[in-house]
Amino acid sequence: MGHKSESALVFSVDGIKPITKRALLYHFKRILESAGIRNLVTRSIVPYSLRHYMITQRIMSGVDFRAIADMCGTSITQIERVYYHLNDTIRLTNAVANYRLDSDGTIRVV
One domain for residues 52 and 84: yes
Say whether pLDDT at 50 is over 60: yes
14-30 pLDDT, tens digit per residue, is 878 888 889 999 999 99
Exposure string over 31-62, b if 16+ CB within 10 A, otherwise e? ebeeeeeeeeeeeebeeeeeeeeebeebbeee
One domain for residues 69 and 89: yes
* Predicted local confidence at residue 6, as pLDDT: 66
- Look at the chain and report how many structural domains it folds into: 2
pTM: predicted TM-score of the whole model, two decimal places: 0.61
Q: Report the residue count for the chain.
A: 110
One domain for residues 9 and 63: no
d(CA 37, CA 43): 10
Phi, psi angles (nearest 5°) of residue 23? -65, -40
Say whether pLDDT at 1 is over 50: no
Say whether pLDDT at 2 is over 60: no
One domain for residues 62 and 94: yes
Segments forming the whole domain that contains residue 52: 47-109
- Give the contacts of 89 (CB within 8 A, at least 6 positions apart): 60
